Amino acid sequence: MTHPDDSRAGGLIGWATAYLAERGIEQARREARLLFELAYGREVSWQLTHADESMPEPDVFVDFVRRRGAGEPMAYLSGKKGFWTLDLEVTPDTLIPRGDTETLIEALLRHRPDRRSVTSVLDLGTGSGCLLLAALSEYPQALGIGVDRKERTARQARKNSALNNLASRADFVVADWSDPLNSRFDVVLSNPPYIPKADIPGLMKDVVAYEPGAALDGGEDGLDAYRQIIPRLSDLLEPHGLAILEFGIGQEEDVAGIARKAGLSVVEHCSDLAGIIRAIVLSPQVHS
């Protein structure tokens, strides 16, 4: 059935559920309800009590369902994604923030529990601005800079800083990693591209087809960005500073090796809620 023949709320949701399930979308009924809310502004509680209510022209809803069935991520359909305590706008110019990346903020809070201890933050490859803005939200005295290669991406991060009342403490620079910077920071955060080039076609179809390839492609072995970022950290970090970097599954030893070669100390490997090692905490090497 390619078009709903029942214009009642329950009928539309039932059609969408079947349509999405046929196309391999997991939790199809949940997704159908989210799309209904997106199209009609009616929350699940309303949907459950008004299943027999006739709805107006369903073209917008049908369009959302078909796009989701084709694999377009929900975050791009809604233009919104939550991260940490923030509400962010996302576009196809930016990687969709994921819960795994919150591991970096958890690690930062663990190592710097005093909210007055961080006054400067650098986010390399800022994307939506999620990491920088989450850090600034937790450290009220901190100022931060987010760096991204694309002007459109930096513009979106700048917009997110305003939406979360952090624009006065965040600035965004268009550059190749840290090239134009000559300051030192208490904290450097980064979620760089880390997918090996040959692995990208095997990712989920909604990632491959819709999310920006430059934010995924880590080169032949997935480590290109770390070879660029890590050797610069000694010049970017204050003596007491920390760098926290996300990486892919199974890359922890390779990233740690690059860090040690650059003269940095490995403070901790950090696991996400599923127990998968997702991030590394680095500090400038202390010489006795």
Tens of pLDDT, residues 40-49:
999 999 999 9
* Residue that wins the pLDDT comparison between 212 and 282: 282
Tell me if 92 is assigned to some domain.
yes
Residue 77 lies in a domain: no
For residues 34 and 130, membership in a common domain is answered with no
Over residues 75-84, the pLDDT tens digits come to 999 999 999 9
Query: What is the full DSSP assignment across the chain?
Result: --S-S--BHHHHHHHHHHHHHHTT-SSHHHHHHHHHHHHH---HHHHHH-TT-B-S--HHHHHHHHHHHTT--HHHHHTEEEETTEEEE--TTSPPP-GGGHHHHHHHHHH--STTS--EEEEES-TTSHHHHHHHHH-TT-EEEEEES-HHHHHHHHHHHHHTT-GGGEEEEESSTTTT----EEEEEE----B-GGGGGGS-HHHHHHS-GGGTB--SSS-HHHHHHGGGHHHHEEEEEEEEEE--TT-HHHHHHHHHHTTEEEEEEEE-TTS-EEEEEEEEPPP-
pLDDT tens digits, one per residue of 15-34: 999 999 999 999 999 999 99
The one-letter code for the residue type at 191 is N
Same domain, yes or no, for 38 and 114?
no
Q: Is 168 left (phi over 0), alpha (psi -120 to 50) or beta?
A: alpha
Same domain assignment for residues 55 and 90: no
How many Å apart are CA 89 and CA 129, to the nearest integer?
A: 10
Position 2 in a domain: no
How many domains does the chain fold into? 2
94 and 234 in a common domain: yes
In a domain, 39, yes or no: yes
User: Do residue 64 and residue 116 come from a single domain?
Assistant: no
Confidence tier at 105 by pLDDT (50, 70, 90) = very high
The whole-angstrom separation of Cα 133 and Cα 94 is 15
- Written as six digits, the tokens of 15 are 């059609």
Residues 117 and 249 both lie in one domain: yes
d(CA 279, CA 273): 12
User: Alpha-carbon distance 217 to 193, whole Å?
Assistant: 5
pLDDT digit string, tens, across residues 150-200:
999 999 999 999 999 999 999 999 998 867 788 999 999 999 999 888 888
Statement: residue 288 has pLDDT above 70: no
Range of the domain at 42: 9-70
Average pLDDT of the segment spanning 101-116: 96
Do 120 and 211 sit in the same domain of this protein? yes
Cα 101 to Cα 152: distance, rounded to the nearest angstrom: 22
Identify the burial level of 131 via C-beta atoms within 10 angstroms of its C-beta, where 0-12 means exposed, 13-18 middle and 19 or more buried: buried
Alpha-carbon radius of gyration of the chain: 21
Residues 28 and 121 in one domain: no
Q: For 173-196, what is the HEC assignment?
A: EECCCCCCCCCCEEEEEECCCCEC
123: CATH: 3.40.50.150
Q: Is residue 143 part of a domain?
A: yes
CA 174, CA 180: separation in Å to the nearest integer?
Answer: 9
Neighbours of 197 (CB within 10 A): 16
Report the pLDDT value the prediction gives residue 287, as an integer from 0 to 100: 47
Flag whether pLDDT at 256 surpasses 60.
yes
Separation CA 117–CA 186 (nearest Å): 8
140 pLDDT band, cuts 50/70/90, is: very high
Query: If you search the block for the tokens 């991406």, which residue do you land on?
Result: 153
Q: Percentage of the chain with pLDDT > 70? A: 98
Residues 246 and 173 in one domain: yes
Does a structural domain hold residue 78?
Answer: no
